[in-house]
Amino acid sequence: MGEDPKLHLVAWDRVCFPIQQGGLGVRHLIPFNRALLGKWLWRFGLEETHLWRRVVVAKYGVGRGGWTSNTPRGTHGCSLWKHIWMGWEDFSMHIRLEVGFGSRVSLWHDKWCSDCPLKEIFPRLYECSLNQEDSIASVIISQGMGQACVWNVTFGRDCNDWELDQMVTFLSLLHTHTPRGDDGDKLVWGPCRKGIFDSRSFYHVLHTPLEICFPWKGIWGMKSPPRFAFFMWTVAWGCILTCDNLKKKGFVLAGWCCMCKNADETVDHLLLHCWFARQLWNFVFQFVGIDWVLPLNVPNLLFGWWNWFGKRSSGVWNLIPSCLMWTIWRERNKRTFENMESCG
Ligand SMILES: [Zn+2]
Same domain membership, residue 227 and residue 326: yes
Same domain membership, residue 290 and residue 179: no
Whether the pTM exceeds 0.85: the reply is: no
Same domain membership, residue 273 and residue 177: no
Is residue 225 domain-resident?
Answer: yes
Same domain membership, residue 181 and residue 121: yes
Is residue 81 domain-resident?
Answer: no
At 155, is the secondary structure helix, strand, or coil? Answer: strand
Please tell me the distance between residue 325's alpha carbon and the centre of ligand 1 in angstroms: 13
Is residue 72 domain-resident?
Answer: no
Same domain membership, residue 241 and residue 158: no
Same domain membership, residue 306 and residue 264: yes
Cα 321 from Cα 312, distance rounded (Å): 17
Please tell me the distance between residue 327's alpha carbon and the centre of ligand 1 in angstroms: 14
Please tell me the distance between residue 242's alpha carbon and the centre of ligand 1 in angstroms: 11
Packing angle between helix 29-46 and helix 199-206, nearest 10 degrees? 130
Is residue 220 domain-resident?
Answer: yes
Please tell me the distance between residue 286's alpha carbon and the centre of ligand 1 in angstroms: 21
Please tell me the distance between residue 227's alpha carbon and the centre of ligand 1 in angstroms: 24
Please tell me the distance between residue 133's alpha carbon and the centre of ligand 1 in angstroms: 73
Which of 154, 189, 224 is the endpoint of a domain?
189
Instruction: Say how many domains are in the chain.
Output: 2
Whether 85 and 68 have beta carbons less than 8 Å apart is answered as yes
Cα dihedral 283, 288, 293, 296 sign: negative
pLDDT for 73: 80
Residues, beta carbon < 5 Å, ion ligand 1:
257, 259-260, 274
**Nearest alpha carbon to residue 332 among 288, 276, 291:** 276
Is residue 6 domain-resident?
Answer: no
**Nearest alpha carbon to residue 121 among 112, 75, 302:** 112
Whether 46 and 237 have beta carbons less than 8 Å apart is answered as no
Please tell me the distance between residue 172's alpha carbon and the centre of ligand 1 in angstroms: 71
Is residue 198 domain-resident?
Answer: no
Other Cβ atoms within 10 Å of 298 Cβ, number: 22
Same domain membership, residue 238 and residue 179: no
Please tell me the distance between residue 266's alpha carbon and the centre of ligand 1 in angstroms: 9
Cα 108 from Cα 125, distance rounded (Å): 10
Is residue 168 domain-resident?
Answer: yes
Is residue 290 domain-resident?
Answer: yes
Please tell me the distance between residue 216's alpha carbon and the centre of ligand 1 in angstroms: 26
**Nearest alpha carbon to residue 129 among 165, 170, 162:** 170
Contacts of 344 by beta carbon, 8 Å cutoff, 6+ apart: none
Contacts of 129 by beta carbon, 8 Å cutoff, 6+ apart: 108, 153, 154, 155, 156
CA atoms within 13 A on the CB side of 227: 2
Q: What is the pLDDT along the chain (344 residues), one digit of tens a residue?
A: 456 678 888 999 899 998 999 999 999 999 999 999 999 999 999 998 999 999 999 989 999 899 999 988 877 656 889 899 999 999 999 999 999 889 999 999 999 999 899 999 999 999 999 989 999 999 988 777 667 778 888 898 888 888 889 899 999 999 998 887 778 899 999 999 999 999 999 999 998 877 889 999 999 988 889 999 999 999 999 999 999 999 998 988 888 898 998 899 999 999 999 999 999 999 999 998 888 899 999 999 999 999 888 888 888 899 999 999 999 999 999 998 887 766 54
Structural domain boundaries, residue 229: 216-338
Same domain membership, residue 235 and residue 182: no
Contacts of 330 by beta carbon, 8 Å cutoff, 6+ apart: none
Please tell me the distance between residue 260's alpha carbon and the centre of ligand 1 in angstroms: 4
For every residue of 275-289, DSSP letters joined together read HHHHHHHHHHHHHHT
At 100, is the secondary structure helix, strand, or coil? Answer: coil
Please tell me the distance between residue 275's alpha carbon and the centre of ligand 1 in angstroms: 6
